[in-house]
Amino acid sequence: MNVVLWIVQGILVVGFIYSGWLKAFEYEKAKTSWTWVKDVPKGLVFFIGLAELIGAIELILPQATKIAPVLTPIAAVGLAAIVFFGAIFHIRRKEYRDIGVNIVFLALALFVAIGRF
């Protein structure tokens, strides 16, 4: 089970680093990648991206270093909250094709949270 959790954590880290980096540091590229970015304040997009980047780091670092490993499932819960609210945001905007990624990442993040608690 531990190996599966590490694999899932790795998948989440790659996804959240990609999306967080675009949102936090490549705003113009994020606007061309996701239509919703144009309708949300730049500061909020940056904040979401930064939260995703910090969460991604916390998915790996505490567990790998065995320094405060309880932070790993807490980060997974935080990232699950981000994608859950993202899914609700997309539902309200009728952007149904964007919800699939949210659901997959929500399930993976909850799997890590439950597995690591």
**Could you give the percent of the chain with pLDDT greater than 70?**
100
Q: How confident is the model at residue 97 (pLDDT cuts 50, 70, 90)?
A: confident
DSSP one-letter code for 23: H
The predicted structure's pLDDT at residue 90: 93
pLDDT digits (tens, 9 = 90+) for 34-90: 989 999 999 999 999 999 999 999 999 999 999 999 999 999 999 999 999 999 999
Tokens of 71: 């932070």
Q: What share of the chain is helix, strand, coil (3-state, %, to 5)?
A: 90, 0, 10
Alpha carbons within 13 angstroms on the beta-carbon side of residue 95 total: 15
Q: Is the pLDDT of residue 98 over 90?
A: no
Query: What is the rounded CA–CA span in Å between residue 31 and residue 21?
Result: 13
* DSSP string covering 60-95: HHHHHHTSSTTHHHHHHHHHHHHHHHHHHHHHHTT-
